[in-house]
Structure 1
Amino acid sequence: MNKLSPFNVVSLTLGFAFLYIPMVILVIYSFNESKLVTVWAGFSTKWYGELLQNEAFLDAAWVTIRVAFFSSTIATLLGTMAAYVLVRRGRFLGRTLFSGMIYAPLVMPEVITGLSLLLLFISIGLDRGVLTIVLAHTTFSMCYVSVVVSSRLVTFDQSLEEAALDLGASPWEAFRLVTLPIIAPAVISGWLLAFTLSLDDLVIASFTAGPSATTLPIKIFSSVRLGVSPEINALSTIIIAIVTVGVISASLISKHQISKREREERMAAG
C-alpha cells in the first residue's frame, strides 16, 4: 500500500478546506442569535422556526421537491432505455446522431439549453410553470443517468441474460428478472444524481419557470441579492443535510448490493 507523501497530504488538506470550510461556517452561523450573519451573538435555533413560518420559502421548496422527483424519475426511465440501446444494440443506422443527442447536454452551456427550451415553450404556446421546469430538468439530467447506467451495462456479463433467454424467458422477462436487479445500484445512483442536479439548478429553471412556479434556488438567489439573512443560512443547512443523507444512503445501498452479489457468487461457486 502506497503511503501519502507530504505534498499529497497538503494538497488534499487545502482542497478539502477550500470545499468544506465555507459550508461549515454557513452551518455554524445558521444557529446564530443575531440577525447579522457575520456577528456571533450566541447559540439559537430561532431562525429554523422563522423559516418554517416563511410561506414563500415553503412554497418554493414544495415546487422544487415536486420538480426534482418527477424530472429525476422520467430522466431515469429515459436514460436507462437510452443506455441499454447504446450498449446492447451495437451499431445501427443513426447511432452516432442518437448518442450525440443524448450526451449533448453534458457539454452544452446551461444558458444555451435554458434559452432554447424557453423559445421552444413559447413557440408551442406552453405556459411556463411546473410542467416546463420538469421537462427542462428531464432534458439535461437524462444524459447523466445514461452515462451512469451505461458504465454498468458495459461491465455486465451478458451471458446471464442469454442463459435466461435459453431457459424460455422473453426478452422483457430477462431484462426485468436478470438485468435490472444487477444494474439496480447504477439506476438508483442515476436517479439520485438527477434528483440532486434538479434541486441545485438555477440557470435553466430561471428560463423555464413562470410566475406561478418558483423553485428554491431562484427564491434564494432573489433573496440573497437583497442581503443574506439567517433564514437562508438555516435553509442552506437543511439542504446540505438532505444531500448528505442522500449520498450516504446511495453509498450504503451500493455496498449492500455489492456484498449481496459477492455472497451469491460465493454460494454459486461453492
Structure 2
Amino acid sequence: MSTRTPTPRDVAPAARRTSRDAASASRARKPGGPLRAVRRNLVVIAGICTLAYMILPNVVVMIFSFNKPNGRFNYEWQRFSTDAWTDPCGVADMCGSLSLSLQIAAWATLGATVLGTMIAFALVRYRFRARGAVNSLIFLPMAMPEVVMAASLMTLFLNMGVQFGFWTILIAHIMFCLSFVVTAVKARVMSMDPRLEQAAQDLYAGPVQTFLRVTLPIAAPGIAAGALLAFALSFDDFIITNFNAGSTVTFPMYVWGSAQRGTPVQINVIGTAMFVVAVLVVLAAMLLGRRRKRQQGG
C-alpha cells in the first residue's frame, strides 16, 4: 500500500486549524469578555461615575424648577408646572439680590483679572527682592479657610471705620479671587516661548505692539480661565460676603435666608439658568478652540 507524501498545500490548512484551536483555547483560559472590558476601561468608567455624581445635584435643581409645591418648601415633587419660569422675579427682592450679585461678580472679575495678570507677569518675567515672599503671600487666600479671611477683613474694615455694603463686598471678593487668577495666568505665562516675542522685536515691533499682537493672544486662554473662575467664585461666595455685607443682601445670602422660611421655586429657576449658561460658555470655548486648531492645521 503506497502512501502519498504530504505537500505544502496540504500542510497549510492543518497549520491554520492548529493555530485557530490554540487561539480558542487561549481565549477560553482568559477571563470573560465583559470583565476584561471593564478592567480595560476602569479609568473611563470611574471618570463617568464621578462626573455623574457631580452633575446629579444640578439635575435635581433643574427638575424641581418645574415643580409646583403645595406649601412653602420645594423639597417634594407635587406636580409639573412652568409658572416659575414664566415669572422668575415673582418673589420679592430675589431679582434685586441677583442683580447685585451679578454686578459684584462682574466688577470683582475685572479687578481681579487685571491685577492678577499683572502680578503673574511680574512674578514670571522679573527678578526682584522679596519675590519668593510675594509668591507665597499670593497663595495664602487659597490655603487658609474662608472664615479666617472673612473675619480678618471684617476686623480691618471695622478698625478703619468703613461702612459695610457694596464696596466692602467688592474689595473682599477681589482679594479672594486674586490668587486664583494669578495661578491660572502664571501657569500660562510660564509655558510661553520667549523667542516669539524676540522674533517680533527683531521685526521692528515696539513693546506695546509686541504685547498686544504676540504676548496677549498667547496668554489669553489663561486670562480667560482665571476670569471665569473669578466670576464663579465671586457670584457663589457666601462666607466672605456674610461677614462683610452689613445690610446688603446678595443672591447666596438670599438663598440662605429663604431656606429658613421656605424655598421658592424661582431659586431653582435661577440656578438652572446659571448652570445652562455656564455649560454653553464652556461648549462655545471648546468649539472655538477646535476651529482654531483646524484652521492652523489646514
Q: 1:98 aligned to 2:134?
A: yes
Q: Deviations over 1:45-83 (max 9, x none)?
A: 112344323241111011101000010011111111111
Cα gap change, 1:80 to 1:256, in 2 (>3 Å): farther
Does 2:255 match 1:232? no
Task: Figure out how many residues of one structure are paired with residues of the other and give that number.
Answer: 259
Q: Which moved more, 1:128-137 or 1:40-49?
A: 40-49
Q: Distance in 2 between matches of 1:177 and 1:165?
A: 11
Tell me the distance in 1 between the aligned counterparts of 2:191 and 2:257: 45
Corresponding residue for residue 30 of structure 1: 65
Instruction: Supply the distance in 2 between the matched residues of 1:258 and 1:183 (Cα, whole angstroms).
Output: 16
Matched, 1:242 2:277: yes
Per-residue Cα deviation, 1:103-144 (whole angstroms, up to 9, x for no partner): 111111100111111111122222111111111111111111
Write out per-residue CA displacement over residues 73-107 of structure 1, whole angstroms, 9 at most, x where no aligned residue. 11111111111111111x32110111112111111
Which of 109, 123, 147 is the matching residue for 1:86?
Answer: 123
Residue 222 of structure 1 aligns with which residue? 257
Of residues 187, 199, 204, the one that matches 2:223 is 187
Q: Is 2:201 the counterpart of 1:154?
A: no
Measured in 1, the distance between the counterparts of 2:164 and 2:200 equals 47
Aligned position for 1:140 = 176
Structure 2 residue runs without a partner (length 5+): 1-36
| Residues in 1 aligned to 2:75 and 2:153: alpha-carbon distance in whole angstroms | 40
**1:120 counterpart residue number:** 156
Give TM-score scaled by structure 2 length. Answer: 0.79
Separation (CA, whole Å) in 2 of partners of 1:256 and 1:193? 24
Distance in structure 1 (CA, Å) of the matches to 2:163 and 2:292: 43
**Superposed CA offset, 1:161-185 (max 9, x none):** 1122333333333222210012112
* Amino acid in structure 1 at the alignment position of 2:250: T
Whole-Å separation in 1 of the counterparts to 2:81 and 2:138? 48
Matched-pair contact (CA < 8 Å) for 1:27–1:237: yes
Structure 2 counterpart of 1:201, from 221, 227, 237: 237
1:46 to 1:101, Cα distance in 2 relative to 1, 3 A: same
Q: Which moved more, 1:220-229 or 1:6-15?
A: 6-15
- Structure 1 unaligned runs (5+)? none
Equivalent-residue separation in structure 2 for 1:250 and 1:40 (angstroms): 36
Q: CA, structure 1 residues 253+214, in 2 after alignment: closer, same or farther (shift >3 Å)?
A: farther
Which segment is superposed worse, 124-133 or 109-118? 124-133
String of CA shifts for 1:184-241, please: whole Å, max 9, x gaps.
Answer: 1221121111111111111111111121x31101110111122333232222222222
Measured after TM superposition, the shift of residue 254 of structure 1 is 4.1
Q: Distance in 1 between matches of 2:174 and 2:103?
A: 13
Higher-Rg structure is: 2
Report the CA distance shift for 1:160/1:17 in structure 2 as closer, same or farther (over 3 A): closer
After TM superposition, the score normalised by the length of structure 1 is 0.87
Per the alignment, in what secondary structure is the counterpart of residue 52 of structure 1? coil
Task: Label 1:185 to 1:10 Cα distance change in 2 as closer, same or farther (>3 A).
Answer: closer
Cα 1:10–1:251, aligned 2, differ >3 Å: closer, same or farther?
Answer: closer
> In 1, are the aligned partners of 2:62 and 2:269 still within 8 Å (CA)?
yes
Q: Are residue 57 (structure 1) and residue 125 (structure 2) matched?
A: no
The one-letter code matched in structure 2 to 1:21 is L
- Answer whether contact 2:89 2:266 (CA < 8 A) is retained: no
Change (3 A) 1:175 1:241: same
How big is the shift at 1:257? 4.9
Alignment partner of 2:114 out of 77, 101, 121: 77
CA contact (8 A) 1:75 1:142 kept: yes
Worse-matched range after superposition: 214-223 or 164-173:
164-173
